[in-house]
Amino acid sequence: MTASPTDYHIALAPCDSQWLLAEWRELEARADSTFFTSACWVATWLESLRPDTQVAVIRHQQHIVGLGLLCWRQERRHRVLTSTVLRLARTGDPLDDQIWIEYNGLLLDAQHQHTAPSAFAAWLLEQQDWDEFELGATDSRQMRLYHPPGCTAVERWSAPAYGVDLVALRQQQITYLDSLSRNTRYQINRCRKRYESGGQLTFTVVSSAAAMLAIWPALGQLHLARWGHDEQGSGFANPRFVQFHENLIRHGAPQGQVEFCTLSLDDRLIGVLYNFIYRNWVYFYLSGLSDEADNQLKPGLLLHSLAIQHYLERGLDYYDFMGGESRYKQSLGSRHGDLQLVSFQRPRLALKLEQLGRRLKHGIRQER
């Protein structure tokens, strides 16, 4: 029998890490979860950022069927607007949230994943201590389940999501390169030949924490060189980001949930992919790539193609590039959905005026 929103009991509890992680792991075993709602990610988040958070505990017939971590933050915008923002698994501090969670949501028992979010949304409306509820980036279809009635959905960020269906490739009995367009395949093969003409090209999967942490500084330098040394660019300029991911590597590597794919030419590191592996799904998180003077050398295309073929042969199900409108993602994968970060706003006059101002500003820009 399908549960209705009124069948759930939801309450807040203090964040006792030992109790929470024990309950989280037990529920995770029954959940259709992603890496970003895994105990590995959550334990690292609690340990590294030490957020001021409370636990939303969702029960059905006395059994825990849902858990979520909630953070409140009072924010001032445009010098005059003050708003209390409630967030799920994010603190609201840009330096904390630069770790960038995707596929956000409650951790839910698989039997309740379609009904518990609406019960949670209804419960939110009963709480009077927030003006905006912000749900971090997640699938747009999932996002709609969390919409509290009577609240306005304001999109803060959106992006298409691309990936490669490895199960389908195995069923077709083709290699990954054979699935690509003629032009993309040509670029990858040309790049590989040009590299090999200058030395020994080596692709390696690195899965031990010690080995990954040894490579980590070099990955950081490659990422900083591409995205910049300020905190609005590369996360490696942010000590909290660095500390979080060093801890994530220590937690995740022994469980087989975090690994690097590297590409080297002789002794020169050309590129590193930082991937999460969870329930036969590969989440590509970030990369560090050499900036080559020769524009026919495309280390990212080559490294991703080698990694995807590796995971295809390893028997995994999907290679997810996650959110982002990038040319290489379109060339290497197929669009499988859209991610959104949405703020659900109560009908407050100040928030309505803010949105009116944004629409007017957007209209003026379009006219120009």
Q: Which residue has the tokens 């009963």?
A: 126
Q: Which amino acid is at 22?
A: A
* C-alpha span between 145 and 120 (Å, rounded): 9
Other Cβ atoms closer than 10 A to 51: 19
**Per-residue pLDDT tens digits for 233-287:** 899 999 999 999 999 999 999 999 999 999 999 999 999 999 999 999 999 999 9
How much is the pTM?
0.94
3 state SS of 3: coil
Which pLDDT band, with edges at 50, 70 and 90, does 204 fall under?
very high
For residue 280, the Cα-to-chain-centroid distance in whole angstroms is 16
Geometric angle at alpha carbon 365, from 360 and 366, rounded to 5°: 95
pLDDT of 28 over the 90 cut = yes
According to DSSP H, which parts of 67-181 are helical?
94-97, 116-126, 140-143, 166-172
* C-alpha span between 29 and 334 (Å, rounded): 30
Q: Supply 278's token pair.
A: 């969870």
Strand-pair category, 81-88 with 63-77: antiparallel
pLDDT at 368: 58
pLDDT of 97 over the 80 cut = yes
pLDDT of 1 over the 60 cut = no
Please give the CATH topology (third level) of the domain spanning 5-151+346-367: Aminopeptidase (3.40.630)
CB of 61 within 8 A of CB of 112? Answer: no
pLDDT at 231: 63
Written out in words, the top-level CATH class of the domain with range 162-337 is: alpha beta
For residue 59, give every residue at least 6 positions away whose Cβ sits within 8 Å of its Cβ, in sequence order, or none. 8, 9, 10, 11, 65
Other Cβ atoms closer than 10 A to 337: 16
CB of 99 within 8 A of CB of 47? Answer: no
* C-alpha span between 43 and 224 (Å, rounded): 27
The domain segmentation of the chain, as residue ranges, is: 5-151+346-367, 162-337
Domains 5-151+346-367 and 162-337 share a fold: yes
